[in-house]
Every structure is written in C-alpha cells, then in structure tokens.
Amino acid sequence: MPRKRIVVIGAGVGGLVAALKLAHAGFDVMVLERAAAPGGKMRSLSVGGRAIEAGPTVFTMRWVFEEILQECGSALTDHVALTPAPLLARHAWSDDERLDLFADIDSSTEAIAAFAGQSEADGYRRFCARAAAVYRTLEGPFIRGDRPSPLDLGRRVGLAGLGELWRIQPFTTLWRALGEYFRDPRLRQLFGRYATYCGASPFAAPATLMLVAHVEQAGVWFVEGGLSRLAMALANLAEERGASIRYGAEVARIETDRSGVTGVVLADGERIPADAIVANADVAALGHGLFGPEAAVAGDRVASSQRSLSAVTFCANARAVGFPLAHHTVFFSRDYRAEFSEILSRRRLPSDPTVYVCAQDRGVDGAAAGGTERLLLLVNAPADGRERAFSPSEIQRCETNLQQRLAACGFSLTMTEPPVITSPQGFESLFPATGGALYGRAAHGWMASFKRPGSRTRLPGLYLAGGSVHPGPGVPMAALSGRLAAEAVLSDLASTVRSSRAAMSGGMSMR
C-alpha cells in the first residue's frame, strides 16, 4: 500500500515540527515554503554582510524541543549549542533608573530591593509564587492539550482544580493583578510588558499571562547562531527522517472534493496531491481566502481591532555608547498607558516608545568585542499593514523617537550603514492577511485564548499549526501546535500507515 502523502504549507516552527513527527512516523511528507529558507518569523537578515536575527530572540521552554526531538529519536543538544543566560534582561527608565532581572529569584529579589525597597521585593516573591501556580494550573489541561472550551478546561482540571483555576484570576487584567504585588509603577510596567510577548496590551490582557515570569525563571538560553539556526536544524532533521522541503514554492490554492482536501496548487500551476494538509500559515490567510474559497471555512477573519501588535524593527550594525547593554535590554517609555493608547486606539506609532534591543554579540558576561555590533531594535506598532502603509516620514519620526528614548537613558547609537527596517506593511507582505500582526489574534479578555482554533478544522483532512492557533504565539507554543497537528493526523490516518521505521511513542509526558 502506498504511503499517505501529507503536504505541510509553511516551514515555520509549527510546520517543521509537524513535518518532522509525521516523517518519523512513516508518512510521505512534503513541506512547501514560499521563502528561500525555513523558520518563518525565525529569520535573519543580512546587513552589511553580517547576519542579524530579525525575529524571536528569546529561547524558553527548552523542554518542548527536548521532548519533540526525543520522540523522533534524536536530542536537542545534538543539533544546536545552548548556553543558559543568568541575566534575563536589563531594564532602564532614565540614565539613573536601571534594574536587572536574573534567572535566580534570590538575585532578582536583592536587585529589586535595592531599586525600589524591601516591600516591593517581598511583592516580587509573592508574584513569582503566583506566576508558578498559574503555570502549573494551565500546563497540563491547556498548554499541552488540544484546544479546550471553557467547559472543557473545567472538566480537565476536575473539581479539585476548580478553586486553583479561579485563583489564577482569568477575569482580571494583568495590569490590575500586578497592583496586588507592586506599588512602584515601574515594576508594574516591567512585568506588564509580558503581555507584549503575546502581542497584547497589559491593560486588556488577562492576568494569566503572569505565567510568562515563571517560564523565564525556568530558564532562558542563548542559541548559538540564533533561533534561525534552530529552524534550520529542525528542517535538516525532518529531511533526515524522510521529509522533502521545497523552498520558493508558494501555495495558491487548497483543492477539495466532497470528502475533504485532495491537494494543493502552486502559484506556477503545479498540482500536488495530498491525503492530508497541515497549514502552518496565519489563520487569517485561510479566512480571507488566500488559499481558495473552499479552505476559507477553516480560517478566521480577524478584524484589525482584534489583531495582536505589530512592530517596526531596525536591524543595524552600530556603535553603542554610554550604556552597558546586556544581550536583552528594554528601555521603557515614561507613560505606558499613553503608549498603548496611541498604538491601539489612535492606530499610530508611539511618540515615546518602549524600545527592546537585542545586542547579538553580547553573551553571558554582556561584554562587547568592541567596534560595531549587531543590534535588533523593536518598537511596538498597530497591525494596520493590510489597510495602509506608514509613510517614510512616519518611519523616520519613529526612528527619531526611538533614539530620543535611548538618549533619555544615557545611550546613543551610531549606525555604520542604513539599517534594514521592517514595518507593519513589511510584515504583512511576509505574512499575508495579518496586517503585520505578529501573534495572531490579540490576547485581550478572558475568552481570547478560547477563540484560537485548534489543530483540526471543519474541512476534513486540513489541520492547522502555528502561532495563530492553540496553544498560542511564541516559538515553544508554535512548536507545540505542530506537535498537536501531527498527533491529530496520526490519530486520524495512522491506521493506514505501513512504516519500516520503528516509530517511538508520540504521546505527551508530564513532568
């Protein structure tokens, strides 16, 4: 009997994980990627002949990749070199207001006490305990499992867990919940920024997002070569397991018949038959008909007001003067609420932005080699790239505002050549139908997480993976979505597979 053919659309991390697991299980897997390299948002750009990571820069939840690769007969450390980061990030509000957070809670507590007083340090310990409890409550029934409804989540935690589910404050905003632990507005701003990891505002995101604090304390790692190197490693391993990956292959349409999907048609007219398809594209691309009208029922038409944040990013070679950059540094605006009001209500670039800087040549000790260094600078922006483009003067003003925010913290940059800038319109071009939103639907309100689709769709044979579906955005979450999609395919089709390869268990282990 011929092997079942699975087509994976998109070589982002969700698609790569799905392809790896399905190829390891014995399916005939073909990955179709319109870009020239794997990774999706895990990408690098060449600036002055030097590769600069232009996408995600923080690697957490290492266990996700360790489990996935173990299930496929390999080990994460065989493919990428990882170094733990003792310093999570450096934060600044002015030239004399700086705070470092560490992977070690005791070290962070001491730093907060010196920065804002013992009462705030005590609040930080209580906050860490609550963040850990939120994570423990949600990991098994929500993060690892198929997308639940609110009722399903209640059933999964059981009667004994309902009290803990209530205590994680799902109906309270993150900003309000932070007021229970911190009186210092700078600390509320710092920990409120965790909402932006999901592309959300801390003034509208649920308090459950405080779990990000626990995730970071469990470990942040430097990946040698950046996260684009991790994407390449996954692609190479998927090919070793038998998957084929075609770059420069743009899918124009998903074909169907009465029984479900039958294949895809490429932009050049080539037809590729398939028994099942995993779409590792933003669900908005499906919902807006970019893969044909038959597949639109499986997508999600996300209104611009419901999109997550976009960004303006600057990839630059620069000389940094006057501030001791860490690998990850955040320069906070003076008025966080006003900043998000400008972005989400007035739909414009902030006049006083919070600026994230990833100094990619600085490692554990934070020391620079001297001379120019590779920097990624990021400012949050409205995801309106589908409807309009920011003018050159608006982008120039954004860069000026960014430089002013850095200068207020005693930091100046001299770029040795023009930076490579990506705006919301640029992200829309890379990821069509998103408006440039980097995280799918915004995590605003307690129901937002339940509105993300799961891996199975209403169209038989079509499965979903990626940061716009359950369990959510971010590199490890997107990887989990690929694992869930592969397991759904295995569950639905594996009885017909004949494989000479001894497949390892694909089940999830708790730890």
Q: What is residue 137's predicted lDDT score, i.e. its pLDDT?
A: 82
Query: Residue 59 maps to which CATH number?
Result: 3.50.50.60
As a whole number, the mean pLDDT across the chain is 91
Phi/psi at 112 (5° precision):
-70, -40
pLDDT digits (tens, 9 = 90+) for 103-138: 999 999 999 999 999 999 999 999 999 999 888 888
Instruction: Please check whether residue 272 lies inside any domain of the structure.
Output: yes
**E-strand stretches of 290-397:** 310-321, 328-331, 355-359, 373-381
Distance CA 365, CA 127 (A): 27
Q: How confident is the model at residue 143 (pLDDT cuts 50, 70, 90)?
A: confident
At 83 the three-state DSSP class reads strand
For residue 23, which of 31, 12, 13 has the smallest C-alpha distance? 31
Q: How many CB atoms lie within 10 A of CB 246?
A: 14
The C-alpha torsion from 172 through 176 and 178 to 182, rounded to 10°, is -150
Instruction: Please check whether residue 98 lies inside any domain of the structure.
Output: no
pLDDT digits (tens, 9 = 90+) for 75-102: 999 999 999 999 999 999 999 999 999 9
Helix (H) or strand (E) holding 412: strand 412-415
Residues 68 and 36 in one domain: yes
Asked which of 160, 189, 218 is the last residue of a domain, the reply is 218
Q: Are 468 and 452 in contact (CB under 8 A)?
A: yes
Helix (H) or strand (E) holding 18: helix 13-24
Find the mean pLDDT for residues 355-369. Answer: 86
Asked which of 202, 218, 234 is the last residue of a domain, the reply is 218
Phi/psi at 42 (5° precision):
-80, 80
| Token couple for 379 | 């400012």
Residues 233 and 250 in one domain: yes
Residue 503 vs residue 221, higher pLDDT = 221
Q: What is residue 498's predicted lDDT score, i.e. its pLDDT?
A: 42
Query: What separation in angstroms does the CA of 343 have from each of 99, 132, 312, 402?
Result: 26, 31, 12, 15
Residues 248 and 332 in one domain: no
Q: Are 353 and 398 in contact (CB under 8 A)?
A: yes
Instruction: Please check whether residue 168 lies inside any domain of the structure.
Output: yes
| Counts for the chain of helices (H) and strands (E), in that order | 15, 20
Q: How confident is the model at residue 149 (pLDDT cuts 50, 70, 90)?
A: low
Find the mean pLDDT for residues 36-51. Answer: 96
Contacts of residue 417, Cβ cutoff 8 Å, sequence gap at least 6: 47, 48, 316, 317
Residues 180 and 74 in one domain: no
CA angle, residues 463, 464, 470, in degrees to nearest 5: 130
Residues 18 and 109 in one domain: no
Using the predicted structure, report yes or no on whether residue 168 has a pLDDT greater than 70. Answer: no
In terms of phi and psi (left: phi > 0; alpha: psi -120 to 50; beta: otherwise), the region of 165 is alpha
Asked which of 409, 430, 451 is the last residue of a domain, the reply is 430
Residues 202 and 257 in one domain: no
> Alpha helix (H) ranges present in 369-415?
392-408
Distance CA 241, CA 90 (A): 41
Q: Are 91 and 146 in contact (CB under 8 A)?
A: no
Find the mean pLDDT for residues 468-475. Answer: 94
Q: What is residue 500's predicted lDDT score, i.e. its pLDDT?
A: 37
Burial class (CB in 10 A: 0-12, 13-18, 19+), 410: middle
Residues 446 and 418 in one domain: no
DSSP code, position 208: G
> Alpha helix (H) ranges present in 276-423?
283-287, 336-340, 392-408
Residues 328 and 349 in one domain: yes
Residues 35 and 59 in one domain: yes
> Alpha helix (H) ranges present in 290-391?
336-340
Residues 399 and 339 in one domain: yes
| Token couple for 238 | 């998927």
Distance CA 75, CA 77 (A): 6
pLDDT digits (tens, 9 = 90+) for 484-503: 999 999 999 975 544 434 33
Q: How many CB atoms lie within 10 A of CB 392?
A: 9
Q: How many CB atoms lie within 10 A of CB 125?
A: 15
Instruction: Please check whether residue 502 lies inside any domain of the structure.
Output: no
Instruction: Please check whether residue 354 lies inside any domain of the structure.
Output: yes
Instruction: Please check whether residue 91 lies inside any domain of the structure.
Output: no
Find the mean pLDDT for residues 499-508. Answer: 36
Find the mean pLDDT for residues 189-214. Answer: 95
Instruction: Please check whether residue 60 lies inside any domain of the structure.
Output: yes
Distance CA 346, CA 305 (A): 11
Residue with structure tokens 């799902």?
Answer: 170
Total domain count, the chain: 3
Please give the residue range of the domain that contains residue 327.
306-430
Contacts of residue 490, Cβ cutoff 8 Å, sequence gap at least 6: 21, 22, 25, 506
Residues 32 and 73 in one domain: yes
Residues 321 and 277 in one domain: no
Task: Write the DSSP assignment of 120-176 as a string of letters.
Answer: HHHHHHHHHHHHHHHHHHHIIIIISSSPPPHHHHHHHHHHHHHHHHHHT-TTSBHHH
